[in-house]
A and B are shown apart, each in its own frame.
Chain A
Amino acid sequence: MTKPLISVKDLTLRFKTDEGLVTAVNNVSFDIAPGEVLGLVGESGSGKSVTAKSLMMLNAENSVYDDNSSITLNVDDQDFDVLSLRRPKDQMIVRGGAISMIFQEPMASFAPAITIGDQMVEQLLIHSDMTAVQAKEVSIEMLTRVGIPVPAQRFGQYAFEFSGGMRQRAMIAMALSTKPRLLIADEPTTALDVTIQAQVIELMKDLVEEFHMSILFITHDLGVIAQTADRVAVMYLGNLVETGTVRQVINSPAHPYTRGLLNSLPKLDDLEAPLTPVPGDIPSPLDRPSGCVFHTRCVESSAIAEKCRTEIPGYTTDSANHQVACHLATQGEQS
Chain B
Amino acid sequence: MSKDVLIAARDLSVHFPLRGLAFGERPVVRACEGINIELEKGSFFGLVGESGSGKTTLGRAMLKAAPISHGEIVYSDSEVTYDLGSLKGAELKEYRKRAQLIFQDPYAALSPRMTVRDIIAEPLEVMGLTSSRDETDARVRAIAAKCRLNLEHLRRFPHAFSGGQRQRISIARALVSDPKFIVADESVAALDVSIQADVLNLLNSIQAESGITFLFISHDLSVIAHTCDFVAVMYLGQIVESAPTRKLFSETAHPYTRALLSAIPSLDPDVRGHAQKLEGEIPSPINPPPGCRFNTRCPHAQERCRSEVPEWREMSSGHHVACHFSEELSAALGS
Contacts and interface: CB of A to CB of B under 8 A. Distances in A.
Interface of A: 43-44, 163-166, 193-199, 201-202, 205, 220-224, 226-227, 246-247, 250-251, 260-268, 271, 275-278, 281-282
B162 A281 contact: yes
Given A194-B219, A266-B223, A266-B226, A277 B201 contact: yes
Interface in B26-74: 50-51
Interface residues of B, number: 44
Contacts, number: 119
B278 A195 contact: yes
B240 interface: no
Contacts of A267: 222, 267
B122 to A, nearest CB: 25
Given A43-B192, A227-B272, A267-B267, A202 B277 contact: yes
Interface in B272-316: 272-273, 275, 277-278, 281
A194 B276 CA distance: 11
Nearest to B270: A247
Interface in B239-282: 245-246, 249, 259-270, 272-273, 275, 277-278, 281
Contact of A261 (B193, B227, B260): B193
Contacts of A220: 192-193
A195 B269 contact: no
Interface of B: 50-51, 162-165, 192-198, 200-201, 219-223, 225-227, 245-246, 249, 259-270, 272-273, 275, 277-278, 281
Contacts of A163: 281
Contacts of B192: 43-44, 220
B249 A271 contact: yes
A195 B257 CA distance: 11
A267 B220 CA distance: 12
B275 A275 contact: no
A197 B197 contact: no
Interface centre among B162, B266, B269 (most CB of A within 10 A): B269
A271 B46 CA distance: 14
A199 B50 CA distance: 14
Contact of B222 (A196, A224, A262, A266): A266
B267 A265 contact: yes
Contact of A264 (B196, B245, B246): B196
A76 to B, nearest CB: 32
A275 B263 contact: no
27 contacts: A43-B192, A194-B219, A194-B221, A194-B264, A197-B263, A198-B263, A205-B273, A220-B193, A221-B265, A222-B193, A222-B267, A223-B264, A223-B265, A227-B269, A247-B269, A263-B197, A264-B194, A265-B267, A268-B221, A268-B225, A271-B226, A275-B197, A275-B201, A277-B198, A277-B201, A278-B194, A282-B162
